[in-house]
Amino acid sequence: MTLKDELSAIVGEAFAAEGLDHALGAVKSADRPDLAQFQCNGALAAAKAAKKNPREIANAIADKLSARSEFAEITVAGPGFINLKLTPEFLSARLDALAADARLGAWLKPAPEKIVIDYGGPNVAKPLHVGHLRAAIIGESLKRIMRFAGDKVTGDVHLGDWGLQMGQLISELELRQPDLVYFDPEASGPFPEEPPISLSDLEEMYPAASAACKADKARADVARKATKALQAGRPGYRALWRHFVDLSVNAMKKDYADLDVEFDLWKGEADADPLIPELTQDLKERGIIELSDGAEIIRVARDDDKKEMPPIIFVNSEGAVGYHATDVATIVDRKRELDPDRMLYVVDARQRLHFEQVFRAVDKAGYFDEARLEHLWFGTMNGKDGKPFKTREGGTLKLRDFIDMVTDRARERLNENGFAEGYSAEETEEVARQVGIAALKFADLSNPRTSDYIFDLDRFMAFEGKTGPYLLYASVRVRSMVAKATTAGAGEAGPVKITMPEEADLALTLLGFADALRDAYERRLPHLLCDHAFGLAQSFSKFYAACRIVDEADASLRASRLTMASAAGGQLDLILSLLGFSAPERM
C-alpha cells in the first residue's frame, strides 16, 4: 500500500463515520507544502450531497482524525480543505520499513499480467536515425517499469521487412546487377551465402529506389510486382530478402546496444505473413472481408463515429499485403505464441488512425479485445527551430552519428568540469558514454510522452538543473558519502529518527516512490518517475547540506542519517535503471 493509499484509507474511515462516502477521503500532496504535507478536499464534494456547509463537514472530519497517532497537525483552511501533517514517529517507522525492503518501497501490481510491448519498428535497409529514438527510449523504460511492477513483459522490435520497400530494393538491385543468379526465375538455390551487396550499398539503394518509384509510375509498377513475387515465395527474391534483413539487423543491434535498449524478439512483418492466407479465408467465410475495386477490405467504421474511419486494405488489387494485414496477423501470432493479456504499441502520433483501424478490425474479427490493445503514441523531438531534428545540412541524422555527437559533448563537459581527472582513457570513454546516454534519455523521458519537445544538447548536458548528468552526479555523491562514512568508522546504519525539517522532507520524498511508480505505470508516462528522481536528488542535497552525518556526535542520529542516505542512494539508482541508464562508479 502506498503512503497516499494508507492516508486515504484513514481519512476515508472518518468520512464513513459521518455517514459519507469512504472515497471522499482521498488524500493528495498539499498544494501549499509550506502549510501542510497532504490535503483532502473531500468535504467540498460531500457538502453538495449532504447539503451542509463544507467547512462544517471538514471540521467534523478533523475532530475525528485528531485522535489518530499518525497526525501531528490537522487544520481546516479556506472553504473546507483538510490539511494534514504527519508525526515524526510515523514517518520514521514507515522509512525503517522502506529501508529494510529490497524494493525500497516500490509499488507492486496486485494482479500481474502478460504483456507484449512493440516499441522498435525500424525498416530493413534503412539505418536507424533520430526518428527511431523516442520509440526505443520510451518503450525500453516502460518495459522495465512494467517488469519491475510484476508483469511478464516481452519486448518486440517488429521490423518493417515485408512491405513495398522490399520490392523497391529488389527491383533496384535487378536494374543495377541484372546478371545476379538471384534473378533467374528458374533458379531455386542454393544461392550464395555471402550477400551481393554491403550494408552501405543497401543504405544508398533504399532512398534511390524510393525516389525512382515516386518519380516514375512504370518503375513503381515494377516494384509492386517484385513485392508480390517476394511474398508469393520466389526463391531468389526470398534469398535476397534474407540478406537484406541480416545486414540491417546486425547493424541495428549495435546501435540499440549503445542505447542500452534490448529486445526479446526480433520478429518482423514477414513472420506474420504465413498467417495471411488462413486469416483471409477465415475473414471471407465470416463475411468480414469484402471486395472493393479489386482489393479485399475490412470496414471498421461505426455508427457513432464522429470522424471518417476508412476501411483497412487487407489485400490490395495487386494481390500483395500491406501494413494493415501484417499488423492484424501479428496480433494473431502473438496471441497464439504468447497468449498475452495486453499488447502495447509505442509508435509516434502520426500512426493513430492506423492503429485505431487495426484494433477495430481484430476486435470485429474476434481475434483480440480492442480494449486490451493500446497505442502509446508520442510527440516529436524537435530542433531549436521547432521542426523535427535534422542535421545542419537539413538531412536526417543517423542514430549512430547522434550517439557519437552526444558522447563527444559529454566528454567535453567532463573535462570542463574537472570530472575526468585521474581517469584512464578507457574509463573516460565509458563515463562519457554513460553521461551522454543519461543526458539523451532523461531529456526525452522527462517530457510528457504525448508532447513534442526541443532537444537542446547544451542544456541537457548540464551538471545542474533537471538533467540526466545531474542525476548521475547525485547518485555518485550519495554513494561516495556513504562509503566515506564507512571508511571513517562512523558506525552502521540504524533506526530512523526524524528531528529536522530536511529529514522529514527526504523521508516524505522516499515514501512517495510507490505512488510515483504506480502513476508512471498506470498512465504509461515515464516522466512521472523522472519527476520523482529529480525531487529525490534535490531533497537529498538539502538534507546533506543541513544534517551532519559522518561527524555527527549523536550516534543514534548518525545511524539514522546513514540509513536515510543509503535508502536515497539505492532508490535513486533503482529509478535510473528503470529509466534505462546508470551512473558511473565515480565522477
Q: What residue spans define the domains of the chain?
A: 3-86, 164-258
Three-state SS at 57: helix
**pLDDT at residue 275 greater than cutoff 70:** yes
CA distance 265 to 115: 13
Average pLDDT over residues 371-379: 98
The pLDDT of residue 393 = 63
Burial of 234 (0-12, 13-18, 19+ CB in 10 A): buried
Task: At 115, list the grid cell.
Answer: 504483456
Average pLDDT of the chain to the nearest whole number: 94
CA distance 585 to 483: 12
Q: List, for residues 88-133, the tens digit of each pLDDT value.
A: 999 999 999 999 999 999 999 999 999 999 999 999 988 899 989 9
What is the architecture of the domain spanning 3-86?
Answer: 2-Layer Sandwich (3.30)
The pLDDT of residue 391 = 67
Q: List, for residues 529-566, the tens digit of each pLDDT value.
A: 999 999 999 999 999 999 999 889 999 999 999 999 99
**pLDDT at residue 11 greater than cutoff 90:** yes
CA distance 433 to 425: 12
The pLDDT of residue 30 = 96
The pLDDT of residue 394 = 63
Q: Are 579 and 142 contacting, i.e. CB atoms less than 8 angstroms apart?
A: no
The pLDDT of residue 392 = 63
Q: How far is CA 134 from CA 303, 380, 443, 453, 564, in A?
A: 35, 8, 10, 11, 35
Cβ neighbours around 384 below 10 Å, total: 10
**pLDDT at residue 40 greater than cutoff 90:** yes
Percent of the chain with pLDDT over 70: 99
The pLDDT of residue 389 = 80
Q: Greater confidence, 471 or 396?
A: 471
